[in-house]
């Protein structure tokens, strides 16, 4: 007899084995990554989602906290074909329901064909299809979770002292490796709440305004968008993932929901200027539709969605993927060098 159930928005109920008990709800998504499960599970961009691993065995090399991207697990539940005891025990300690013995090939195909969907999860001794369905019925659409920024952002500013350019990093769900990448280059980093005021940023006198990655609909990060709008033409501006989407909206662009998003370590990106294709790690369910006053410089090879936006006039540089991704690939780490070089254009932008 099964002790776990997934109630899908399609009406199907999938039986599974409980590895960590509990009930949960969220947007069902998948990642194609075959390593980096610790990084994925602690990535704030997975907040309010139920993460399915396409790779069949999760936990091959244990669980080590030094690989974490944040202080907690962010998916509301986890699905795998098979997961090791190390991962299951970690998720149970975090209070995150986890299930395996699922035909994830079939589940991934459903998501790919029908799009990311709501799901209810019931796992453990008292699990039932009815509880899973109740979770599904109560599950909000991702765009309706308007407080998602508060769930993943710092409450108070955090300072990482450095001797280089001063970076105002707006934390919409920033991964730790973004901070590490900037710190490795000597940046003086001020991590700020997602709803920080323009006055507080001005008091820092930063050299670069950086909008981080994060979960959910970029339209719900109104404060960050207003911040970019306030400083455009005055400060160099950079962004990663959700940050690209927020920046595009502030420059008159649009964003839209994708069918099932880009999540994994094998996303090919074409740079228009160099003609070079690089492999990237990605995790997003929304994308830039129209770039507004910015120029699309990089696109996804699979679907032509924007992967990079630039503006020499305004001093803007953004990427939809994660250049800092751990454990990799690391084809695009020079992005952070380029961002810090934007600091040199601060005086020019202000003068213009």
For the annotated catalytic residues, the residue numbers are 241, 322, 324
Give the strand order in the sheet containing 255-271.
158-160, 188-193, 166-171, 208-211, 237-240, 316-319, 306-311, 295-300, 255-271, 277-288
Query: Pairing mode, if any, of strands 98-100 and 166-171?
Result: unpaired
User: Is the Cβ–Cβ distance between 191 and 213 less than 8 Å?
Assistant: no
CA distance 1 to 3: 7
CA distance 255 to 34: 29
Residue for token digits 């953004």? 318
How many beta carbons lie within 10 A of that of residue 195, not counting itself?
16
3-class DSSP string for 299-330: EECCCCCEEEEEECCCCEEEECCCCCCCCCCC
Q: Which value, to the nearest 10 degrees, does the dihedral of the CA atoms of residues 142, 145, 150, 152 take? A: -20
How many beta carbons lie within 10 A of that of residue 344, not counting itself?
12
Residues in CB range of 27: below 8 A, 6 or more apart: 48, 49, 50, 116, 117, 118, 119, 139, 142, 285
Token pair listed for 119? 């799901």
DSSP letter for each residue of 206-267: -SEEEE---SS-GGG-HHHHHHHHHHTTTS-EEEETHHHHHHHHHTT--EEEEEEEEEEEEE
Token pair listed for 188? 């003086």
């Amino acid at each position: 007899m099964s002790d776990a159930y997934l109630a899908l928005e399609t009406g199907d109920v999938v039986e599974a084995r409980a590895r960590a008990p509990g009930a949960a709800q969220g947007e069902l998504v998948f990642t194609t990554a075959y390593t980096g499960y610790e990084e994925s599970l602690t990535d704030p961009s997975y907040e309010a989602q139920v993460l399915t691993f396409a790779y069949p065995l999760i936990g091959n090399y244990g669980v080590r906290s030094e690989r974490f991207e944040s202080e907690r697990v962010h998916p509301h539940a986890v699905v795998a074909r098979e997961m090791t005891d190390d991962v299951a025990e970690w998720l149970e300690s975090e209070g995150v329901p986890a299930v395996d013995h699922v035909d994830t090939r079939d589940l991934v195909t459903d998501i790919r064909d029908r799009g990311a969907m709501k799901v209810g999860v019931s796992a453990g001794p008292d699990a039932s299809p009815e509880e899973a369905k109740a979770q599904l019925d109560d599950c909000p659409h991702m765009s309706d979770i308007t407080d998602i920024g508060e769930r993943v952002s710092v409450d108070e500013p955090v300072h990482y002292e450095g001797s280089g350019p001063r970076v105002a990093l707006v934390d919409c769900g920033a991964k730790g490796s973004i901070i590490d990448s900037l710190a490795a280059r000597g940046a003086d980093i001020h991590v700020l709440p997602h709803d920080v005021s323009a006055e507080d940023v001005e008091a820092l006198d930063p050299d670069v305004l950086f909008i981080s990655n994060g979960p959910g609909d970029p339209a719900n990060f109104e404060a960050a968008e207003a911040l970019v709008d306030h400083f455009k033409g005055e400060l160099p501006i950079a962004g990663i993932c959700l940050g690209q989407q927020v920046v595009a909206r502030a420059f008159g662009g649009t964003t839209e929901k994708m069918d099932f998003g880009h999540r994994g370590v094998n996303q090919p990106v074409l740079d228009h200027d160099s003609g070079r294709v690089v492999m990237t790690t990605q995790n997003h369910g929304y994308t830039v539709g129209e770039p507004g006053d910015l120029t699309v410089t990089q696109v996804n090879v699979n679907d032509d969605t924007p992967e990079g936006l630039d503006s020499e006039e305004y001093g803007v540089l953004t990427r939809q993927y994660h250049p800092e991704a751990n454990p990799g690939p690391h084809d695009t780490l020079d992005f952070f060098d380029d961002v810090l070089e934007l600091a040199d254009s601060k005086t020019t932008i202000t003068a213009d």
